[in-house]
Amino acid sequence: MRAMTAARLALAAGGGAACALASLAAADLSLPLAVGLWCAVCGGVVYAASRLAACELVAPLHRVAEAMGQVHKGQHDRRLDEGCERLPDLRELARAATEMLERLDAESRAYSARILDSVEEERRRIGRELHDESGQSLAAALLSLDLAERALLADSLPTALERVGQARELIRHGLDQVRLLIHDLRPSVLDDFGLPAALRWYIQTHLDQSGLAVEADLPKVPVRLPAAVETALFRIAQESLGNVVRHSFATRVRVSLEVQPGYAAMVVSDNGRGFDPADVHVDARGRYGVGLLSIRERAEALGGSATVVSSPGRGTSVHVVVPLQAAESARTEARSA
């Protein structure tokens, strides 16, 4: 009893575990008993300290995990570094993660905006095609039928027949334009016969009347490419050739396709006036160049790359490489999602 009292007094006096051990020994206790009591005291102190430290660490981790769960559910404005003030390393890690999420969220919004811009641009193109081609043809056909009706009322059968023939040709032309527009939206030849045949069809239907000398190096592919690769390369060629016709003032254009066991590569080049790629990243309304961006994003979505090489007066070349194994993996993941 006297020994225990001495130990308590030593601890209370602030002497710590060493003073307690010395006091126990001085109180005529055996050394093993003194050491045992000392270990018990130290163990209690260490346990209490570890529990306190664990609480100090686990609580912020729980808050970070909760915040990440809310971000995963769509609450993207939730910051991950809230409640980490006492742990600088964790706070910096959470802050870096928050900044990364904010950057990814901003990129996602910008990408969505570009998709909407692309959709609107395609709608405008379809509207122009319908108005300039089919609409004009149908309006002219209607006028010819009106003139034919007047000729019949005036008992001028030859004139009426001539007007009806003109109307027939105009309607046929308008129908051809509608069919071409439908094929542009999703050419059946791409699904039925593959990429080389689809590229030859596009060149024949869209470039024969352009005045361009076209060189097409499109060998037959022994095995069909993945559908995602065929679609991406066809759309890239469509965009690139459209740019040649609309903007390049070129006299020659070359389209080449190469398919190897591990990759597919395509090049579209012209001898036009060229441009500085850095100058077309932003258009008149402050938007990134949708055409060039869509080319790059289509390739990158399949694990590939697209490079635009151009300079004023030296023409333009679009080089695209897509790894076939990565594209097939991306298609498999998309199907299983």
Q: What is the CATH number of the domain that holds 326?
A: 3.30.565.10
Show the domain range for 30: 2-78
pLDDT in tens, 29-68: 455 655 555 566 566 655 555 555 555 555 666 666 666 6
pLDDT higher for 156 or 7?
156
pLDDT in tens, 210-223: 889 999 999 988 88
Backbone dihedral angles phi then psi of residue 197, each to the nearest 5 degrees? -65, -40
Asked if residue 199 has pLDDT above 60, the reply is yes
pLDDT higher for 252 or 54?
252
d(CA 334, CA 69): 24
pLDDT higher for 102 or 87?
102
Among 15, 49, 78, the domain-final residue is 78
Above pLDDT 70, what percent of the chain?
63
Q: Against a cut of 0.85, is the pTM above it?
A: no
Among 28, 47, 78, the domain-final residue is 78
Asked if residue 10 has pLDDT above 60, the reply is no
Structural domains in the chain (count): 2
Would you say residue 65 lies in a domain? yes
d(CA 318, CA 329): 25
Residue 184, amino acid: D
Would you say residue 295 lies in a domain? yes
d(CA 237, CA 214): 13
Token pair of 65 as six digits: 């995990």
pLDDT at 1: 46
pLDDT at 318: 96
Would you say residue 269 lies in a domain? yes
Token pair of 33 as six digits: 């008993």
pLDDT at 15: 47
Would you say residue 251 lies in a domain? yes
pLDDT higher for 7 or 143?
143
Token pair of 156 as six digits: 């001028």
Token pair of 123 as six digits: 């709608």
Residues 200 and 336 in one domain: yes
Would you say residue 281 lies in a domain? yes
pLDDT at 283: 47
On average, the pLDDT of the chain sits at 75
**Apex CA 23: angle with CA 17 and CA 27, to 5°?**
145
Asked if residue 98 has pLDDT above 80, the reply is no
Asked if residue 285 has pLDDT above 80, the reply is no
Would you say residue 145 lies in a domain? no
Among 18, 44, 78, the domain-final residue is 78
Q: pLDDT-derived band of residue 151, with 50, 70 and 90 as boundaries?
A: confident
